[in-house]
Structure formats: structure tokens, C-alpha cells
Structure 1
Amino acid sequence: MRKSLWLVLVVAGLLALMAATPWLSAPPAVRTLSAAGEFDALRAKDRLARVLGEQRPHPADTVASDEVRDRLVAELRSMGLQPRVDDRFACNRLFKQRGVSCARVRNVLVTVGPANGRHLLINSHYDSVPVGPGASDAGMGVATMLEVASLLRDRPLGRPVTFLFNEGEELGLVGARAFLEGDPLNRQVDSLINLEARGTTGPVNMFETSVPNAAAVRVFAETVRAPVASSLAVSAYKQIPNYTDVNTFEDRRWLTLNFAPIGNETRYHSPGDDLAGMDPATLQHMGDQVLSVASRLASRPAPVASGSGSEILFMTMAPFGLVTMPMWVGVVAAAGLGIVLLIAVVRRRAWLAVPALLVAVVGGAAVAWLGLSIVGALREGQFWRAQPAASELAVYAGVIAVGLALVGLMRRTDIGRLRAGFWLLFVALGAGLTALASGALIYFILPPAVFALGLLAARWWKPAETVAAVLAAIVLYLTLGGMLGLLEDLLNSGPLWLFAIFGALVLLPWLIEAKPLLEGARRGRLLAALAGFAALAWVPAALAPAYSADRQQQWTLQYVVDPAQRQPVWSVVNDRKALPAAWRRFGDWRLGTVEALGRRQRWIAPAPPVGGLMPARALAVEATSAPGGRRVQLRIQANGADSVSITAPANANVRALGVPGQVRAVAAKEGSGVYSLTCTGRSCDGQIVELLIGPEPVQLTVVGTRWALPAAAAPLKAAQPRFARAQYLPDATVLISRLRL
């Protein structure tokens, strides 16, 4: 009975630890009173409030963007600075995609410090997506830059610092391209601090550096007092289809540090990205880091060149700050640890423990997937969106149940064998992950090193192994557990079962130490109790509200007219949760796709015709021969569209897209799907665009998007669920036409 009670306490303690992982990297509290020269988050937020005004969406080259820019310039002038506006039309290749985006952008620039010297560039964007006011993305960066500029202007700087408030980042980094190719100042830059946001709360991560990273990481490590950063995050970021202005700037090989918060992505790119949703503590964290790094980089004529040097592994380890290690040291240490642990497994004849513990990792993920599938079948959609912690803890409860079942069933395998087997498996899995993302190596060195030292010390003091095993588990929690807390924010839309894999690595050392509590337990009763525990853990997740005022359901309504189809359709893009029963009166809804809008599934129903709508068109102007094909010029006729996309099929022979003088090469290997050229803003009406295509006939699809719905949509909007709002895609009228070349 006493063992059972202790086991319950251990399980409860482990769940509490897993629930606390986000706190391992929480931002510092907001200072209610900042000293002279310190970053003041409340003052910075007030500045941003004046710039945003009514907090309307303000995409590039719109009236709303003009108003935000005017207020931004006025704010800078009120600070005693003299900004300038650089106005030009630009096109930029879409990174990791087969596309090009064009727009007229007006970048706002201001410089502080001496007139001569290489510039430190601090960059963020002031435009927003059409669907939200962009208070955090990237208003948080704008607020930070305004406050830092006000603080640096009165300091004796060793070289100039230029603040670039660019327009058009949301359209494909167009503002950054305009600066690189049109503003002479770009040739005087040698270092960059970039500010972004993928959420509105939580710590601000330093998630990208120049390559090699040694110079940038050293500056960051030496100056930032509350760092949140990881070389694993840097490596992983390169593998995902996201990008920031840094991608456009990277060819210049400037010393680079990129910062962004990722907490509560449900407000990102939605109407919820407003000032009320921005956490002042997050703004404080961004501002403190940027001010520290900028002060350091601006204090000397030029930083160490980023084009030379070595790679550094790094991670945050609460409460000790940033841990760094040269890559070569990490590789040697990992190899040495592998050998030491392999010897321990051989000597203890613990071969069975390694695959058995791997089964625990895989089994935990399988149980998590099963739980998610069952609850998801009952509830549909992202049922965890409002209360993600409930589902995350259910995932970890399944991992604990599988781990305890395995440890309890392996009665002939003592703790020593399980310890050696786990840490050898841990290093082996780390080697595999490092092959995919080199920065991951840092997480797989310190914990097994602590245990290996305990193995050696146990020759003279037998309890050393047990002490080291516990210390190694603590270090593992502080490092990989901290990363897991950030991963929960990053992958808040799923797949949640992935957390089980990393959760198993964090939990298994503790479950192995709990083995004595399982001695004497009947196998049948133990397995039944653990199965019941794993199942009951999903009850809170199954009962918790799926959506809330803060974390709302994604819900975009579009009116789509395609002449190739029999009639217009209503389109609802959400998390594929079935529409409310009340929506049946609006039509016969089915889950499908709209060919001209891509492969994403959406709810579709016939819609009534709406008069007075004219689709955007691309009118052929000129076609000339070019090596291997044709150079074709088209004139865009927007007909009221806010954005016009011209797409070609995935199998088309498209080599380049753009406007005359700014035609960008597009390689087929850069992605999959259609080729696209998108022009956004008022200046696109009448704009000439250019395509370099093969000699074969090509059918182009022209998609004109108006960021507003027709009056016929009013009843549907009125019936929209209470906690639902557009995200990523705006409510819109989409009109389609075609052209054969």
C-alpha cells in the first residue's frame, strides 16, 4: 500500500513537471519602473498604439498602410529623428516556393550615430496581413525599434545604426528586396538584427543566425541576460517552409541575429493580433535583448566578419543561461560518450534494455496517437485549441503508463541495466536527430555525460551512480524539457503525438528510478491500473471547450466565382470541424477543394450569383523569342481586386517571373505545386508583368482577390460560431479567369 501511494505521488509529480516545462523559458516580468537608459516596454507599447491608430489591417500599398506610415514618420520626428521614405516597385522570389511576389513598397529609414562607418541594420516590417492589425507581427518589432532608437540616439556610438521599417514583408519579403536592390545604404551594412513574430506571448527566441554562427553567437551569449535560444531551433528552422527577411539578406553574409516570440499562435495572422493580445513581458524581453546586442555591435567600428569562423552549439539551460560548445567538441564528446555507454551495456549484459526502452518511446507515441484519434473522432477539429495543456498532459500520461508498464514487466532487468541501456539509446537517438539537424547535438551531451561520470565515480563510491542518474535526469529536464516547452508552442496545431517522443526521453530516467515501487505488484493489476490511468487522462481533454475568446477557431469565409464551374460557391476554411447544424439552411455543404485555390480542403456549398463583379484579367501585350522559349508580357487589369495572382500548372515550363527589369528565376526544384506571380496593392492595376516560359502552350489561371465579402454573405457571417475568426486567409471575394498563351 505504501509503495502504491509513493507511486501515485511520483506520477503526479512527473505530470506537474511536464506541465511546468513552458516556465523553463518564460520571459522576465515587466519592469513597472525602468531606469534611465533601460528599455521601457510600457512606453514602447504606447508608441506602437499611436502608430497603429484604429488597429486596422494595413497590407502594403493600401490606404490603411499609408496612414500607419504617416503616423510612424510623425512618431520618429517627435523623437527628434529625421526619417526618410524610400518609394519603389519591387519583386522578390518566394523562398522555398515556385513563386514571385511584387508590390509597390515604401520603406521608412532613420539613422543614429556617427555619419561614417559600416552600419548596423535593425530591421522589422510595419505592414500587416489583410486579416489582422499586426500588433505583434511585426508591430512588436516596430515598437522595439522605436524605443531602442530613442535610447541609442543620445549615446556615443562607435558606428552608425540604421533602423529599417520595411513594407511588404508579408507579401514575400518585398520590402527587404527593395532595400537591397534600390537603396544605396545597403552597401554600407555589415551586421543585422531582425525582428519578427509568430505569436503574441511567451519568450522571444533567438532562432536564426548567420552561417557560420560563431561570431553572432558569441555576441549574443556575452550580452543577453535572459537568453532563450537553441542551435536545434536554428537547424530545424531551415527545414520548415517558413521564412523571414533574413532569407533575402542572407546572400550578403552579414553578421545576423533573428528574434521572434512564438507563444499563442492562435492570434497570429488574425484579428486577434491586436494590442490587447500582446504580452508586455514579451515586448520587454525582445527590447532588452535588442538593446543589449545593438549597444554591443554599435560600440565598435565593425564586428568580426560572419564569413569566417566555426560553428557553435548552444542551448538555454534554466536557470544558468546559455550553454555553448564548439561543434567539434560536441562531436568528440558524443563519440566518447557512446563508447563509454556501449562498454557499460556490454559489461552489464544490458542489450535487452536498449530495444525494450525504444519500444517504450515508440509505444508512448502510439498510445498518444490512439488517444488523439479517439477523442478527435468524437469531437473533430482542433479540440485542444483553447486548452492545449489538457491534451499535452494526456499525451505525457500515456508515456508514463507505457514506461511504467515496461519497467514493471522487466523484472529480471535491474536498474543498473536499464540506466545504461537508456543512456546508450539516448545518445544513439541524438546521433540520428543530429544527422537531420546538426544543432540538436547539444541536447544529447550534458545529461549522459553526468551519468557517465557517475559510472566512473561508482568504482570508489557505489552510491555515485544513483546520484548521477538523478542529476542527469534533472539536467535532461532543464535542457530538453525546456525545448519541449517551446516545441509545444511551435506545434500547437499538431501533430501532438510528436510530444510523446521527446516526453519519453525526458520521463524515462525518472520512471527507471521508480522501478523499486513496482516490485511485488501483480502484472494484471498493474497493467489494468496503468491502462485506466492512460484512458482517464484524456477525460479533461475530451470535456474542455475546444475554443475560447482568446484561442478561437480558424474560420475564413470566401465567395468564389470560377467560370469553369456551373455556379459560384461559398467556401469555409477551418480546421475541418463540421459546420454548425444551423448552416444547413445556407446550402448542401461538402468537404472538398477549389481547383484554382490549391489542394487545401474546405467546406463548399453552392452560392447565389452576385451582380456587378468583374474578375481580374491578364491581357497579353507582347511576346518575343527567348533562349529555350518565349518572353511574354501581360498587363494586369485588377477590376477592383486587392491582390492578383497569375498561376501556371506544376508541369509547365516556367523559368522566370516578375516585372520588366526585375524578372526572378524560379527553379522547379525549389518546391512543388503551381508556379505563381502575385501582385498586391493599388499599383498593380495596369502593371506590366513578364514571364519567361517554354515554347509549349500554357494555360494561366488569374485569381483576383477582394478583401471583402458581397452583401449576400451577411447572413452567413451572422451565423458564424461565437469563438471563430479568420486566420491566415481573409474573408474575401475571389474571382477567377483564364488565359492561354
Structure 2
Amino acid sequence: MRKTLLLALIVAGLLASMAATRWLSLPPPLRTNNAPGEFDAVRAKARLARVLGDEAPHPADSTASDGVRSRLVGEIRAMGLEPRITDRFACNKLQKSSGVSCARVRNVLVTIGTPASAPNLLINSHYDSVPVGPGASDAGLGVAAMLETLALLKDRQMPRQVTFLFNEGEEIGLIGARAFLDADPVSRRVDALINLEARGTTGPVNMFETSVPNRAAVALFRDQVRNPVANSMAVSAYRLLPNSTDANTFAEERDWLFLNFAPIGNETRYHSPGDDLAAVDLATLQHMGDQLLQVGGALASGATPERRDGDRLFMSIGSRWLFTMGALSPWLIALALAASLIGDAVRARRRVPVVPVATAMLPLLAALLVPVALAWAGLGLLGALREGQFWRAHQTGTELAIYAGVIAAGLAVLAAARRWSLPVLRRAWWLLFFLIGTLFSFFAPGAMIYFVLPPLIFWVGAALGTRWPPVETLGALLAAAVLFVTLGAAVGLVQDLINSGPLWLLALLGGLVLMPWLIEARPLVEGHRWSRVTPLALGLAVLAWVPAALAPAYSADRQQQWTLQYVVGAGPDQPLWSVVNDRKPLPGEWAGFGPWRQSVLPFSSRPRWLAPARPVAGIVPARALPVEASGAPGGRRVRLRLQANGADSIALIAPPGAIVAGLGIPGQLRAIEGRAKGPYSLTCTGRSCDGQVVELQIGPRPVVLQVVGTRWALPPVAAPLVAARPANARPQYLPDASITVERVRI
């Protein structure tokens, strides 16, 4: 009975610990008093409030963007500085995708410091928003941090110039960054960049990307930032994702030292009407501003980074320290571990035979994979019953259900693993852990830093334990604790990063953190039959899903994705209503607007609900009118004149398999790699697209382009559907819009 009670307390403690992993990387609390020269988040947010004005969405080249830019310029002039505004129609090849985006953008720049011949530090963020939200965090946080930092640095005597670039057009394809690179003479003097972004509204501001190689950037970050939140695993993983920021455009052509910062907490407000001033977390803004001032101030004051060659692995510990090591260090440690393992086996071959250590890895591997299956099944079952992202409002409940499955599977497997002693299981686990880290490193090299220190700590304890056995237990516990404060903190960040899925990944990551603790608790299940432990473990795994099943899926803060569109010309039939949500069944009130079916549209592979709609007079499709064609290597060069007819954005989409070698406008034809792949798209956004001539370099065969015109407003006939939208639902990523589809043969 005592063992059972102790085991129950351990299980509760482990679940509570996993619930607290987000706390391992909290930003510093908001300061109530700021010293002279210190970043003031309250003052910075007040500046942002004045810039945003009525908090209307302000996409690039819109009337609302004109207002934001005017107020931004006013804030800078109030500091006694005169900003410079550039105006350029530019096209940018979209990073990590097969498209080109064009727009007229106006960048706002202000340079401080006198030695114009010195290398220039560029501090960059964007002031435009997506058409669906006000962008108070994305990238209002960056704008606010830059304005406050500009006010603090403008009167300093600095041995180098600093240019603050408030760019327009990031949200529609990183176009402001491209315009700066192509036409601004300051870009030729830049040698370092600090980029500010946001993928959420709360939590710590992560340094998630660096220049490559990263040694100098990481050393600068380590030496200057007092509350670092960063890890090389996230940096490696980010390179595999389709996401891009301005830093990707800059890095494509310039060998600058750079650091990229962004918060990721509460993504449910990101790119939605919920990204408003009320959601801006002052502690998050302070964390961004402090890091910008610390790194930017050091560079502006003449700090000389280390040599640019070489890479470092790094991870923050408790948002207080940044631990770094050379990229080769893990492999040197691996050799030391191998020697230690061999020596351990030789010294204690009777107590810990080598063969059982190898075979014990099999049940431990099963203890990692079974929870993944349990999480997948639990998410799938509740998803079938509830549909949608049922965890959105109360994600912690679903996370704890997943971690309960990890604990249940681990205890069941350990109860069945009677043939292996505790010392054998310890050695098998830490060897397996290191091998998993090696496998991870092939996909994300920066991850390896999390997989070397805990095994090393354990093996030191195991080596000393040959003479003093309790030292081995102490080493195992210390290794598990170090793993929790390092990889556990990273798991806390991953929970925010994948809040839209796939959540089953948390079962694997949680298993890596929890398994060493379960192994140490193994004596508490010894003596119990596997047939008795397993039903109890299964009961824990099932019961843990009850809170997730009962909790409301959505709340006023964390709302359901719900975009309504009126689509004309997508097919030969009548217009369509389109609802893009998280595939949750539509409420009963919507049946009268149906019949609804799940399908896709010709210009998008994203699943959505579709229903017939009544034709609406006055909606004229956007068009692309051929004006010129000429021969080009391997095919033809075709020019078309865009006719917006009220559309805010016009996209030309080539079919899959079409040969597309270049897209853009005359004089800015962006080469496309991988000609046989697609589909490729050329998108023009803003008022200036009406009448703009675009250019495509295609193969010799005729191509039928889709001309998709998007107006960021619904027709009046949509009012009943808008009124019927669920209370805790709002557009996200895609705005409510009227869309027309035409086709042109070229």
C-alpha cells in the first residue's frame, strides 16, 4: 500500500512537472521601475497604440497602411529625427515555395550615428499587417521595440551607424526587404542584422534563427543577452519548415551576421482579428526590447564579434544562461561515452552484462513508441467525436492526457521487464537516448546538444558507482534532472509551436523527458504482476482524456478558425460559399445555407466546406490581358496587363507540370528553379496592381492560367452567414473575402 501511494504521488508529480514546462522559459517579469537608458515596455506600447490608431488591418499598399505609415513617421519626427521614405514597385521570389509576389511598397528608414563610412547595423521589422488582423504583435511588437530603442540610442556617441528599417510588404512575400536590397544604397554598407518578428502574442521572445555559420552570432547573443531563450534544435528545425521572414531574403544575397527574434505564445491570435493591442503582453514586449537594446547597443558601440567560421550548438537554461559547445563536441563526448561503457562493462561484467544492456533497449524503445500510438488514437477518437481542434481553448488538458499515456505505457513496460535489473535498464536507457539523439541530428543537427550531457552525467556516476553504489543512483537522478531543465524546457516551447498539431509528437518528446524518472520508479512496480499493473496503467491513460473530452474547445481568447468566402467562377455552376475552419461540422443554423460538402477549390488544396450561393450583381472578375509575347531561351516571354476590377490581390496560377522559368514584372523577372515542378504563382497585391504589367517566362506550349482576384470584403448577401458564425470563431490566416476566378490562355 505504501508503494502504491508513493507511486501515485510520483505520477502526480511528473504530470505537474510536465504541465510546468512552459514556466522553464518564461520572460522576465515586467519591471515597475526602469533605470535611465533601460527599455520601457509601457512607453513602447503607448507608441505602438498611437501608430496603429484605430487598429484596422493595414496590408501593404492600402489606404490603412498609408495612415499607419504617416503616424509612424510622426512618432519618429517627434524624437527630433527625420525619416527617409522610399517608394518602389518590387517583386520577390518567395522563399521555400514556388511563387513570386509583387507590390508597391514604401519603406521607412532612419539612420543614426555619424561615420557614414563605417559598417552599418540594420535593425528591421515590418509595419504592414495581414488583411485579416491589425498586426499589433506581428509585427507591431517589432515596431514598438524599434521605436523605443531608437529613442534610447539616438543621442549616444557610436562608432558605427545604425539604420532602423520599418519595411512594408513582409506579409505578402517579404517585398519590403527585397526593395531595400535592390535599390537602397545603405544595403551595401550593412554587415549585421537584427530582425524582429512574431508568431504569437505572449511568452518569451525566442532567438530562433542565426546567420550561417553561426559562431559569431551565437557568441554575440551569449555575451550580451541577460535573459536568453534559444536553442540550436529550434534553429535547425526552422530551416526545415516552409515559413520565411525578411531575414531569409537578406540571407539569400548578403553574408551578414544576423539574429532573428520572435515570440510564439498563443498562436490562436496570430494572423487574426485577435492580434490586437489588448493581446500584447508587456512582459513579452519588454523581453524583445531588452534583447534588441542589449545586442543592438553592443554592436552600435563597436563590439567586435568573433571570427565568422565555425558553428556552435547552444541551449538556454531557465532563460538565465546560454550553454554552448562546438559542433564536434558531441561526437568527442560520444567517444568518451563509448570508452566509459566498455570500461563499465569490463569492471562490472558480472553485475551489468553487455548483452542484457543491448536487449533491454527493445522494451524501452517500445515504451517510447506505444505512447505515440496512444496519443494518435486518443486524438483521433476525440477528433472523430468532437471534430476540429478540440484542445484549442484548454491545450494543457490534452497535453496532460498525452503525458499520462507516456507514464502509463512506461510503467506497464517496466513491470513486464522483470528479466532486466535496474542497473541494466539505466544503462540501456541512456545508450538508447544517445542513439535517438544521433538519429535526430541527421535531420536537425542542432538537436544533439540535448542528448550528450545527461548520458555523460549518468556514466560518470556509474563509473564512480562501481566503488560507491549509491553514487550511480545519484548520477541517474542528476542526469534526469538536467534533462528536465534542458530538453523539458524545449518541450514547453514546442507545445506552443505545434498547438495546431500534430500533438502526438509530444508523446515522443515527453517520453524522452519522463522515461529516466520512470526507470528510477521501477522498484515501486517490482513484485506486482504485469497483468495487474497493465489494467491500472490503461485506466490512467483512458481517464486522463476525460478533462480533454469535456473542456470547451474554444474560448473568447482562443477562438476557432472560421473564414467565410464568396467564390465566383471556380467551376461551371453557380457561385459558392466557402467556409475554411478546422473541419469541425457546421452548426445547425448553417444547414439553411447549404447543402454543404467538404471539398477543395481549383486554386487551393486546403479542405473546406462548400455550398451553392446566389449570384450577386456587380462583382466583376479580375483579369490578365495579354499585351506582348516574344521568344526566349527554351520558350516564350509573355507580358500581361492586370485589371483589378476592385480586387485587392490578383494571383496568376500556372497548372502543375507547366514549364515556368521566370515570374515578375519587366526588369524584375525572378528566375524559378525546377522548371517541371509546380504549381507556380505570381501574385500582385495592393492598389498599384491595377494596370500593372507582369511578365512570365514559360515553355513553348500554350498554358492556361487561373486569374484569381481577391477582394477583402464580402457582398451584402453574406450578412446572414456572418451573423450565424459561432460566437467564439473568427477568421485566421485567410480573411473573409469575395473571390473571382477567370482563365487566360497564353
TM-score after normalising by structure 1? 0.98
Distance 2:733 2:330 in 1: 40
- Going from structure 1 to structure 2, the CA distance change for 1:353 and 1:669 (only over 3 Å counts) comes to farther
What is the match of residue 10 of structure 1?
Answer: 10
What is the match of residue 161 of structure 2?
Answer: 160
Distance 1:364 1:386 in 2: 23
Residues 51-88 of structure 1 show CA distances to partners (whole Å, capped at 9, x for unaligned) of 00000000000000000000000000001111110111
Q: CA deviation at 1:519?
A: 2.0
One-letter amino acid of the structure 2 residue matched with residue 75 of structure 1: E
Distance 1:301 1:720 in 2: 54
Do the aligned residues in 2 keep the contact of 1:338 with 1:427 (CA within 8 Å)?
Answer: no
- Going from structure 1 to structure 2, the CA distance change for 1:607 and 1:476 (only over 3 Å counts) comes to same
SS of 2:309's partner is coil
SS of 1:600's partner is strand
Distance 2:258 2:645 in 1: 42
One-letter amino acid of the structure 2 residue matched with residue 77 of structure 1: R
Distance 1:474 1:338 in 2: 22
Counterpart mapping for 1:672-683 below 5 A: 673-683=678-688
Do the aligned residues in 2 keep the contact of 1:190 with 1:302 (CA within 8 Å)?
Answer: no
Q: CA deviation at 1:528?
A: 1.1
Counterpart mapping for 1:397-408 below 5 A: 397-408=404-415
Counterpart mapping for 1:586-735 below 5 A: 586-595=593-602, 597-668=603-674, 673-735=678-740
Do the aligned residues in 2 keep the contact of 1:338 with 1:424 (CA within 8 Å)?
Answer: no
Distance 1:341 1:363 in 2: 28
One-letter amino acid of the structure 1 residue matched with residue 725 of structure 2: Q
One of 571, 589, 592 as aligned partner of 1:585: 592
Residues 428-452 of structure 1 show CA distances to partners (whole Å, capped at 9, x for unaligned) of 0000000111101100011111101
Moved more, 410-419 or 176-185: 410-419
What is the match of residue 293 of structure 1?
Answer: 295
One-letter amino acid of the structure 2 residue matched with residue 222 of structure 1: D
SS of 1:28's partner is coil
One-letter amino acid of the structure 1 residue matched with residue 147 of structure 2: L
What is the match of residue 234 of structure 2?
Answer: 233
Q: CA deviation at 1:32?
A: 1.4
Counterpart mapping for 1:260-659 below 5 A: 260-300=262-302, 303-304=305-306, 308-318=308-318, 321-341=321-341, 344=345, 347=354, 349-562=356-569, 564-595=571-602, 597-659=603-665
Do the aligned residues in 1 keep the contact of 2:177 with 2:246 (CA within 8 Å)?
Answer: yes
SS of 2:13's partner is helix
Q: Does 1:189 align with 2:206?
A: no
One-letter amino acid of the structure 1 residue matched with residue 313 of structure 2: L
SS of 1:185's partner is helix
Distance 1:414 1:626 in 2: 73
Q: CA deviation at 1:346?
A: 5.1
Distance 2:8 2:214 in 1: 46
Q: CA deviation at 1:115?
A: 3.4
Distance 2:15 2:614 in 1: 53
- Going from structure 1 to structure 2, the CA distance change for 1:220 and 1:590 (only over 3 Å counts) comes to same
Do the aligned residues in 2 keep the contact of 1:338 with 1:428 (CA within 8 Å)?
Answer: no
Distance 2:322 2:424 in 1: 33
Distance 1:319 1:706 in 2: 44
SS of 1:352's partner is helix
Distance 2:599 2:338 in 1: 50
Distance 1:325 1:686 in 2: 55
Q: CA deviation at 1:460?
A: 2.8
Distance 1:534 1:105 in 2: 54
What is the match of residue 179 of structure 1?
Answer: 180
- Going from structure 1 to structure 2, the CA distance change for 1:563 and 1:439 (only over 3 Å counts) comes to closer
- Going from structure 1 to structure 2, the CA distance change for 1:156 and 1:397 (only over 3 Å counts) comes to same
Q: CA deviation at 1:214?
A: 0.3
Distance 1:12 1:546 in 2: 25
Q: CA deviation at 1:20?
A: 0.4
Do the aligned residues in 2 keep the contact of 1:50 with 1:71 (CA within 8 Å)?
Answer: yes
What is the match of residue 126 of structure 1?
Answer: 127
Distance 1:104 1:315 in 2: 40
RMSD, matched Cα? 1.3
Distance 2:353 2:186 in 1: 63
SS of 1:520's partner is coil
SS of 1:384's partner is coil
Do the aligned residues in 2 keep the contact of 1:227 with 1:316 (CA within 8 Å)?
Answer: yes
Distance 1:625 1:108 in 2: 39
Do the aligned residues in 1 keep the contact of 2:229 with 2:319 (CA within 8 Å)?
Answer: no
Do the aligned residues in 2 keep the contact of 1:157 with 1:299 (CA within 8 Å)?
Answer: yes
Do the aligned residues in 2 keep the contact of 1:313 with 1:330 (CA within 8 Å)?
Answer: no
SS of 1:349's partner is helix
Do the aligned residues in 1 keep the contact of 2:26 with 2:319 (CA within 8 Å)?
Answer: no
Q: List runs of 5+ in structure 2 lacking aligned partners.
A: 346-351
- Going from structure 1 to structure 2, the CA distance change for 1:563 and 1:465 (only over 3 Å counts) comes to closer
Do the aligned residues in 2 keep the contact of 1:191 with 1:303 (CA within 8 Å)?
Answer: no
Distance 2:640 2:115 in 1: 44
Instruction: Among all aligned residue pairs of Structure 1 and Structure 2, give the percentage whose two residues are the same amino acid.
Output: 62
Q: CA deviation at 1:147?
A: 0.4
SS of 1:169's partner is coil
Q: CA deviation at 1:565?
A: 2.1
Distance 2:309 2:634 in 1: 42
Counterpart mapping for 1:19-98 below 5 A: 19-98=19-98
Distance 2:85 2:135 in 1: 21
Q: CA deviation at 1:97?
A: 1.1
Do the aligned residues in 2 keep the contact of 1:48 with 1:143 (CA within 8 Å)?
Answer: yes
SS of 1:238's partner is helix
- Going from structure 1 to structure 2, the CA distance change for 1:106 and 1:304 (only over 3 Å counts) comes to farther
Q: CA deviation at 1:327?
A: 0.7
Do the aligned residues in 1 keep the contact of 2:219 with 2:305 (CA within 8 Å)?
Answer: no
Distance 2:690 2:729 in 1: 33
Do the aligned residues in 2 keep the contact of 1:334 with 1:444 (CA within 8 Å)?
Answer: no
One-letter amino acid of the structure 1 residue matched with residue 219 of structure 2: R
Do the aligned residues in 2 keep the contact of 1:105 with 1:167 (CA within 8 Å)?
Answer: yes
Do the aligned residues in 2 keep the contact of 1:382 with 1:493 (CA within 8 Å)?
Answer: yes
Distance 2:468 2:674 in 1: 63
Distance 2:229 2:355 in 1: 39
Distance 1:523 1:332 in 2: 41
Q: List runs of 5+ in structure 1 lacking aligned partners.
A: none
SS of 1:686's partner is coil
Do the aligned residues in 1 keep the contact of 2:226 with 2:320 (CA within 8 Å)?
Answer: no
Which portions of structure 1, spanning 4 or more consecutive aligned residues, are displaced by more than 6 angstroms? none
- Going from structure 1 to structure 2, the CA distance change for 1:680 and 1:147 (only over 3 Å counts) comes to same
Distance 1:301 1:726 in 2: 45
Distance 1:60 1:658 in 2: 18
Residues 684-722 of structure 1 show CA distances to partners (whole Å, capped at 9, x for unaligned) of 000000000010010010000000000000000000000
Q: CA deviation at 1:521?
A: 1.9
Alignment length (residue pairs): 737
Distance 1:231 1:404 in 2: 32
Do the aligned residues in 2 keep the contact of 1:457 with 1:464 (CA within 8 Å)?
Answer: yes
Counterpart mapping for 1:238-249 below 5 A: 238-249=239-250
Q: CA deviation at 1:341?
A: 3.8
